[in-house]
Each structure stands twice: as C-alpha cells, then as structure tokens.
Amino acid sequence: MLLKVEDVSAGYGRIPVLNGISIEVGRGERVGLFGPNGHGKTTLLRTISGLMRPTHGRITFDGRDITTTAPKDIVSLGLIHVLQGNTLFPRMTVLENVLLGAYSKRAWDDREENLARIYELFPILKQRSRQLARTLSGGQRQMASIATGLMGMPVLLMLDEPTLGLAPKVKDELATAISEIAETGVTMILVDQDIELLLSVCERLYLVERGRVSLETRRGEKISQEDVLEMYFGKAASA
C-alpha cells in the first residue's frame, strides 16, 4: 500500500469531523471519495497533507509514518494536495503560480520539462501565462491549480472537487484532462460530486459519511451508477 490511513480522527476546535476513518490506496491506483458535503472528505485530505493534525490514528505514506510530519516534508515525498475551490496565489501570474508548484527541491530542477508537459495538457495556460491568476475564469483557475499540483511531480495526487461549480462544457474539458493525467499512471485520490467522473477515472470508491467510510466499492463489482446515486442521495437525505 502506498497510503494507509488508519483509524484517524480530526476536527476543528471542539467539533470533530473525522471519526476514526480508515482508507488505503495502492501504488498506481485511482481512488475516489464521495459523499454528502460536510462529512469529512476535505478534512481527510487536509489531514493527510499535514494542514491539520489528527487527534487520533496513524497515516503512513510509502512505508513512512507521516502522521505528524510538516506539510513541506510531506510535499517533498511527492504527496501533493490540490485544494478545493481553485485556490491560487491571486496576485501572481499563471506562470509564477505554476512554477511555485515545483518549489520543493525534488521538483525544482525538472521544472522546465514539466512545464512543457503541462502546457501540452492545458494549452490555454500557456496563452495566459503572463496574466494574473485572479483574472482567470473559474475553469482556467482550476486548470492552473491542477497544473501547480503536477509541477510538484506527484507520486500521489489528491484533487479536491476539481469540477466544483463549473459549467458543463468546462467540466467535460477538465474531466478529459483528469483522465489523461490518470493514464500517466500517477496514483490519485479524487474527491468529486460527479459520480460519473469518479466511475470513469477510479478503480475504487469510498463513500464517506459522518467522518468515516460507510461503504467501499470497486468498479469491477456489479454496481450500477443508479445504485450509487440512490445510495448517495438516500443517505444524504436522511443525514
């Protein structure tokens, strides 16, 4: 297993969000997380990337215990977290944003080659490279955000709701790009509300509810999209 999250609890102040959650991600695997809003998906990613400390439990990455490791050290292991809501450095150019993605020593020397690959994946970013990030459209910002993550040469890439709030056409474009990234063989954790996207990209899905995994399913297993949707909305409605 590349990433192991064991019985992790975490929260904000006195409000617990994760209640002993456990997930596993194998090398080269693409894993999707879904579930109602506010039930801990984002918090789980933030805890894995070191932005939050778990109050309980253990996280290991590539055999190393990273439960209390500082975010910058986690990044330099190749565990890259792309935040929700196309979070960029708003008053920097697109190029500066993307270059900052290669900040860690591990990725800095290869930044030129990686930049070329990323411009291939997202040609629009090349056109906009001198523009300030805050002047981009929502979809472009999301692309720049993912590009920034890719510049860190991820071993494991965590994308938090990359298609949130995008128009259908832009969403399709991004979904294609994400599939392309997935095909490069990078290990991935994808959080999204779009089950179709998750099913097309991921081999395995976790349903996260009330701070723990309430269901795990594989793409191979006979589970139709309708089943997932029903499960998801049924439970969400009762929650």
Partner 1 sequence: MNALAPILSAALVSGSLYALLASGLSFVWGTVRIFNFAQGALLMIGAYVAWYVTDPSRAGAGLGAGFTAALFALAFGGAVLYLAIVRPFIGRANSDLMVIMTTLAAATFFENGADWVAGPRYKNLPRLATGNIQFSNTAVSMQELIIIILGPSLLLAFAVFLKRAKLGMAIRAVEQNRDAAFLVGIDIRNIYVIVFAVSAVLAAVAGVLYGGEYFITPTMGDDPLLKAFIVVVFGGLGSLPGTVVGAYMIALIESVSRYYIGLYYTPPILFGVLIAVMLVRPTGLLGRAYQ
Partner 2 sequence: MKRLRFLLTLAAVGGVAVVLPLLITGAYYQNLCILTLLYAVVASNWDLTIGYTGLFNFAHIAFFGLGAYTSGILTVKYGISPWLGIAAAIALNVVVGAAMAFPATRLRGIYVALTTFAFTELASALIVSRTSLTGGSAGLVLIPSISFAGYDFGVHNNGYFYLGEILLIVSTFLLRALLKSDFGLSFVAIREFEDYAASRGVPVARQRLVALVVSAVFTSAAGAIYAHYLGVASPDIFGFGFVTLFLSMVILGGSGTLYGPIVAAVALTFFTEWRELAGYGDLRFMIVSGVIVAVLLFARSGLWGALEAIWRLARGRRRTSDAAAEAVAEQNRVPTEAGPAATVTEPQAR
41 binds partner 2 (CB under 8 A): yes
CB of residue 85 vs partner 2: minimum separation in angstroms? 7
Spatial distance between the Cα atoms of 15 and 12, rounded to a whole number of angstroms:
5
Nearer to partner 1, 136 or 228 (CB): 136
20 touches which of partner 1, partner 2, none (CB within 5 to 8 A by kind)? Answer: none
212 touches which of partner 2, partner 1, none (CB within 5 to 8 A by kind)? Answer: none
What would the two tokens of residue 87 be? Answer: 């979070």
Amino acid identity, position 18: L
198 binds partner 2 (CB under 8 A): no
Amino acid identity, position 51: L
Q: Are strands 30-34 and 79-82 parallel, antiparallel or unpaired?
A: unpaired
- By CB under 8 A, the count of residues binding partner 2 is 22
Sheet arrangement for strand 15-25: 15-25, 3-12, 56-61, 64-65
Instruction: Give the DSSP per-residue string, 30-89.
Output: EEEEE--TTSSHHHHHHHHTTSS--SEEEEEETTEE-TT--HHHHHTTTEEEEPSS----
Q: Which of 92, 124, 155, 164 binds partner 1 (CB under 8 A)?
A: 92
With contacts defined by CB under 8 A, name the span among 9-17, 19-27, 122-130, 180-188 that binds partner 2.
9-17
Nearer to partner 2, 27 or 53 (CB): 53
Q: Which helix (H) or strand (E) holds 23?
A: strand 15-25
Q: What is the DSSP letter of 83?
A: P
Nearer to partner 1, 105 or 222 (CB): 105
- By CB under 8 A, the count of residues binding partner 1 is 28
Nearer to partner 1, 36 or 40 (CB): 40
The CA-CA-CA angle for residues 31, 34, 37, to 5°, reads 145
With contacts defined by CB under 8 A, name the span among 95-103, 115-123, 183-191, 192-200 that binds partner 1.
95-103
With contacts defined by CB under 8 A, name the span among 60-68, 88-96, 120-128, 212-220 that binds partner 1.
88-96
**Which positions from 209 through 228 interact with partner 2, judged by CB under 8 A?**
none
